[in-house]
């Protein structure tokens, strides 16, 4: 059977399982199991499933995920969420969309310390969604902006995805980190711009502005942001100066959030236990999906579909812009079935020579890859941020996917912008390293 036919069969089988209400993780594992049946050589699917699930779950790096989620659960049960909105509201009152911009700003700030799209999306959603719903903001745009802005966890350095690419492409990790800052700000600007335009076109769906305040009153309200900013600064500085790893920083974040809860007299035994159970439920959901995605990724690797797809693109002999357009489409297709790191690992050996031959800078291409991985995070049927928000909001998958669609196209626009103006990506690495 041809690779294209196998790809269509596996994708159709996955969509059928998801449409039938099968658990996401189980559907991914089942699809991976079917994929293994097309592999010759008598490779035992059961043994691969066991070793893959254990090997990808027993990861020191992934230990940061439940810690950051627990940090968000603790902060959710303090007055911090309300105080963050009170502190930001006076400054955003004049801007169309008002507090919906908090989603973008908070994901940008938290993404700079978490390095994980899932952790960023889950933590900020836990704090932001209840506050926005309570104030009467449109839930569709709230969910969509959280799905899109949650991807900033892998674009704004430091990022695990960037490290994987730098190692695979044999380029400087620091240069890739530096290259991610301006594209990160670009994506944040595009998201906020969309919220502004949507608000201007739908004035009746935005709550009325709060009363005007003097500059002194705004500053007084912004004092409420000090606990949150101090905690984020602690985690970010520790990571930036190498005082702690991402997992250790997550542990510091939990300790800091517990200290804030104690200081606000919100650290009761009931609140503490509720935060533990809430973090456990979300972590189990995410880890089970990761296990299913890992097995499906391994299965796809055995079938050779990613490498065959990349080789097919190479055979087209496209020009530079045509190559980038084809690679964008290819990675969007792969993103419906693979997690971001797997896409990078499985395709770089074939894609990197093509990119070098076309004259693209490998550091620039790393940011391009991160952006298309972000697209995969918000593209159905298996966009990971969609799963996270579906669980946290209680909405069905179609509602969340539809809400995230405009932000998916904004990521496509970001890819087009950095392709036409590559200096956005390369200027900081060039300034730092000449």
For 73-92, how does the pLDDT look when each residue is reduced to its tens digit (9 = 90+)? 787 777 665 666 667 767 77
Q: Residue-wise over 380-401: b if at least 16 C-beta within 10 A, else e? A: bbbbbbbbbbbbbbebebebbb
CB 104 within 8 A of CB 227: no
CB 172 within 8 A of CB 135: no
pTM, two decimal places: 0.71
pLDDT band at residue 35 under the 50/70/90 scheme:
confident
| Mean pLDDT taken over the chain | 78
pLDDT band at residue 210 under the 50/70/90 scheme:
low
CB 199 within 8 A of CB 427: no
Token pair listed for 263: 């200081």
pLDDT band at residue 247 under the 50/70/90 scheme:
confident
Give the torsion through C-alpha atoms of 139, 68, 408, 347, to 10 deg. -160
Q: What is the pLDDT of residue 13?
A: 79
pLDDT band at residue 288 under the 50/70/90 scheme:
confident
Within its chain, how far is the Cα of 263 from the centroid? 31
């Amino acid at each position: 059977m041809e690779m294209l036919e196998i790809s269509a069969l596996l994708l159709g089988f996955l969509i059928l399982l998801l449409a039938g209400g099968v658990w996401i993780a189980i559907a991914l594992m089942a699809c991976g199991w079917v994929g293994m049946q097309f592999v010759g050589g008598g490779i035992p699917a059961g043994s691969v499933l066991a070793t893959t699930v254990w090997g990808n779950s027993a990861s020191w790096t992934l230990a940061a995920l439940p810690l950051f989620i627990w940090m968000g659960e603790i902060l959710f049960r303090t007055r911090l969420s309300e105080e963050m909105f009170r502190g930001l509201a006076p400054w955003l009152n004049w801007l169309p969309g008002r507090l919906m911009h908090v989603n973008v700003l908070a994901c940008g700030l938290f993404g700079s310390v978490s390095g994980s799209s899932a952790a960023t999306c889950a933590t900020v959603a836990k704090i932001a969604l209840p506050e926005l719903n309570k104030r009467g903001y449109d839930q569709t745009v709230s969910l969509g902006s959280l799905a899109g802005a949650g991807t900033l966890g892998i674009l704004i350095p430091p990022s695990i995805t960037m490290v994987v690419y730098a190692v695979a492409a044999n380029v400087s990790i620091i240069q890739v980190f530096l290259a991610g800052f301006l594209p990160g700000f670009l994506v944040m600007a595009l998201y906020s711009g969309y919220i502004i335009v949507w608000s201007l076109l739908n004035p009746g769906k935005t709550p009325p502005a709060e009363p005007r305040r003097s500059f002194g009153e705004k500053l007084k309200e912004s004092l409420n942001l000090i606990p949150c900013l101090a905690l984020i600064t602690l985690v970010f500085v520790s990571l930036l100066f190498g005082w702690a790893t991402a997992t250790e920083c997550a542990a510091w974040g939990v300790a800091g959030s517990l200290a804030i809860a104690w200081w606000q007299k919100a650290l009761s035994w009931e609140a503490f236990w509720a935060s533990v159970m809430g973090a456990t439920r979300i972590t189990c959901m995410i880890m089970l999906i990761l296990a299913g995605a890992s097995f499906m990724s391994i299965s796809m690797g055995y079938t050779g579909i990613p490498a065959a797809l990349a080789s097919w693109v190479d055979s087209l002999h496209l020009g530079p812009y045509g190559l980038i357009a084809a690679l964008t489409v290819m990675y969007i297709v792969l993103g419906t079935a693979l997690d971001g790191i797997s896409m990078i690992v499985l395709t770089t050996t074939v894609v990197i020579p093509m990119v070098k031959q076309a004259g693209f800078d490998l550091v620039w291409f790393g940011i391009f890859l991160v952006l298309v991985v972000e697209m995969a995070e918000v593209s159905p049927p298996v966009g990971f941020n969609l799963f996270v928000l579906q669980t946290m909001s209680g909405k069905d998958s179609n509602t969340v996917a539809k809400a995230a669609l405009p932000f998916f196209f904004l990521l496509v626009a970001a890819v087009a912008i950095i392709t036409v103006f590559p200096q956005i990506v390369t200027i900081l690495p060039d300034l730092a390293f000449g």
